[in-house]
Amino acid sequence: MANRVAAATDGKFEIRVFAAGEIVPGLQVLDAVQGGTVECGHSASYYYIGKDATFAFDTALPFGLNARQQNAWMYHGGGIELLRELFASYGIVQFPAGNTGVQMGGWFRKEINSVADLDGLKFRIGGFAGKVLTKLGVVPQQIASGEIYPALEKGIIDAAEWVGPYDDEKLGFHKIAQYYYPGWWEGVPQLSVYVNAVQWESLPRSYQAIFQAACAEANVDMVAKYDALNMPALRRLVAGGTQLKPYSKEILDACYAAANELYDETAAENANFKKVYEAWKPFRDTSPCGSALPKTPSTTSCWASRRRRPDAYWISIAWGATSIAGSSIWIEAGSTVVPWSSRPVTSSGQTITIATMMSCRPTQGTAPQ
């Protein structure tokens, strides 16, 4: 984004980029922009739900939107306008500027099979998901990226989630935790650029337009990059011994109920949250963009059909009347992991585990003979 702004202005408008910790700690970006320590910053807004839970809508909520839906809501569904009211109270103008795509659901040293297995679990997890899991006995820990590996290695935490296969592989979590689960709490982890409102108004209108366009480009480019890099990384992880596991129906049903309970509680206590939630929820529930959120979680079904080759099957998943498809769905058949898009699962009669990188329910089915 900074490079694009510089190139579009022949180097007349330059943004100097600093890594987390060079000026302020990684979880204090909003404060630094608000206070004028820096003119702008890049962060995930759900790190600041301690200030106002409404910030979660600017990143991701459990069982929420996917990347396409988030962009639709932000750009054409009133999302930016609603959230800018919140950011204005902090002296900030905010722009969507990145999206990792659906994130994974954590690395564990032991299998997590039931809600009872969550009780007392010290889990590095950010955002609203930590509040949801607290209702099920989890002890959430918000830890910056560079501190996660040593905390997991030393047993300070029992489990950790970060982003997805590509980033997780780089941080080496697979070396100390064997079990890897798809997630349900970050279907659309949007990242945003915060600009100090006074500094924003001081920019020429042409620079404002270039800055806004560069943020929009970054928003598209990041999710495309992750879509390209995550599958090769997942294959390497599985080939190296990582066990890809789905959360059980019991756990997902409990998390789904806890999430909706938390949203209702928060809306009753927080007028900002209530205002955004009442606009966001119907958009999520009626969006045509391929929502994977089940109206009734227990209606999951999975089937396979024979196509082209006698030993090949295409897998479909449906939640009631809602079907989903996309490159963010991964299928594990025996020792093979393949993406959803245009990939058949071979060997009839085997058990097929469908691990979804979306806000939805993983399931299992058996390919027909």
- The confidence band for 143, taking pLDDT boundaries of 50, 70 and 90, is confident
pLDDT score recorded for residue 336: 39
- Distance in angstroms (rounded) separating the CA atoms of residues 28 and 191: 14
- Distance in angstroms (rounded) separating the CA atoms of residues 164 and 100: 8
pLDDT digits (tens, 9 = 90+) for 346-356: 333 444 444 43
The answer on 180 and 110 residing in a single domain is: yes
**Residue 198 belongs to a domain with what CATH number?**
3.40.190.170
Q: Report the number of distinct structural domains present in the chain.
A: 3
Cβ neighbors of 25 (< 8 A, separation 6 or more) are 144
Structural domain including 129 reads 104-186+241-286
The answer on 47 and 10 residing in a single domain is: yes
The answer on 325 and 279 residing in a single domain is: no
pLDDT score recorded for residue 288: 59
The answer on 259 and 170 residing in a single domain is: yes
Domain boundary among 238, 253, 271: 238
More confidently predicted of 68 and 314: 68
Domain boundary among 286, 319, 344: 286
Q: Tell me whether residue 119 is in a domain.
A: yes
- The confidence band for 176, taking pLDDT boundaries of 50, 70 and 90, is very high
- The confidence band for 60, taking pLDDT boundaries of 50, 70 and 90, is very high
Q: Tell me whether residue 291 is in a domain.
A: no
Q: Tell me whether residue 21 is in a domain.
A: yes
Q: Tell me whether residue 231 is in a domain.
A: yes
pTM, entire model: 0.79
Q: Tell me whether residue 145 is in a domain.
A: yes
**Residue 161 belongs to a domain with what CATH number?**
3.40.190.10
- The confidence band for 283, taking pLDDT boundaries of 50, 70 and 90, is very high
The answer on 257 and 134 residing in a single domain is: yes
The answer on 167 and 153 residing in a single domain is: yes
Average pLDDT estimate for 166-188: 92
The answer on 329 and 313 residing in a single domain is: yes
DSSP for 306-342?
E-SSTTEEEEEEEETTEEE--TTEEEEETTEEEESTT
Domain boundary among 253, 286, 319: 286
Q: Give helix 271-286 / helix 249-269 axis angle, nearest 10°.
A: 140
The answer on 323 and 252 residing in a single domain is: no
pLDDT score recorded for residue 356: 39
Q: Tell me whether residue 157 is in a domain.
A: yes
pLDDT score recorded for residue 144: 81
Q: Tell me whether residue 149 is in a domain.
A: yes
Average pLDDT estimate for 303-320: 33
If one counts every other C-beta atom within 10 angstroms of the C-beta of residue 6, the result is 16
The answer on 324 and 280 residing in a single domain is: no
The answer on 88 and 59 residing in a single domain is: yes
- At residue 247, does pLDDT exceed 80? yes
The answer on 167 and 108 residing in a single domain is: yes
Mean pLDDT of the chain: 82
Between the alpha carbon of residue 216 and those of residues 33, 211, 276, the distances in Å are 20, 9, 22
Q: Tell me whether residue 44 is in a domain.
A: yes
The answer on 273 and 176 residing in a single domain is: yes
